[in-house]
Amino acid sequence: MKIGVEREMDARPEEVWNVLVDTRRWADWGPSVKEVESSDRYIRRGTTGKIRTPVGLWLPFEITEYEEGSYWAWDVARIGATGHRVEAVVGGTRVSFELPVYAVGYAPVCRRALERIEELVVPS
C-alpha cells in the first residue's frame, strides 16, 4: 500500500523529468539529500550509489524501477523508498511521489521537494 503527494506545475514534463533523474540536481530539490555519489549521472534501472543526509550519514541507494520519462523508484539502505512519477496534464505537468505507508511521516519532506522542483523548472 502506498500514499501519494503530488503537485501540478506549469512546466513541460521533460524539464521536470530531467531534474528528477540527474543525480547532480538531487541536492537542489531533495531536503534529505545533501550530496550524491552515483554510478551514473542520469539514473536508470540498476544505478547505484550513496546519498549524504543533512546529518552527515551516507546511505546506499539503488534504482529498482525505471520507466523512461514517467517513473522511477529506489531503495535506500535496502529499504523501499519513494517512487517518482511525471505525467503530462492540461497546462503542464503533475509530479507525484509515492511513499510506503510506513513512511507517512516523510510526506512533508516530499511536499517541500515538490516546491523546490517547481522553483527549478518554472520561471519566476
pTM (two decimals): 0.94
Tell the CATH topology of 2-121. Answer: Alpha-D-Glucose-1,6-Bisphosphate; Chain A, domain 4 (3.30.530)
- The whole-number average pLDDT for the span 99-118 is 95
> Is 84 a residue whose pLDDT tops 80?
yes
> Is 98 a residue whose pLDDT tops 80?
yes
Instruction: Tell me the three cell numbers of residue 8.
Output: 501540478
> Is 124 a residue whose pLDDT tops 80?
no
DSSP string, 30-74: -TT-SEEEES-SB--TT-EEEEE-TTS-EEEEEEEEEETTTEEEE
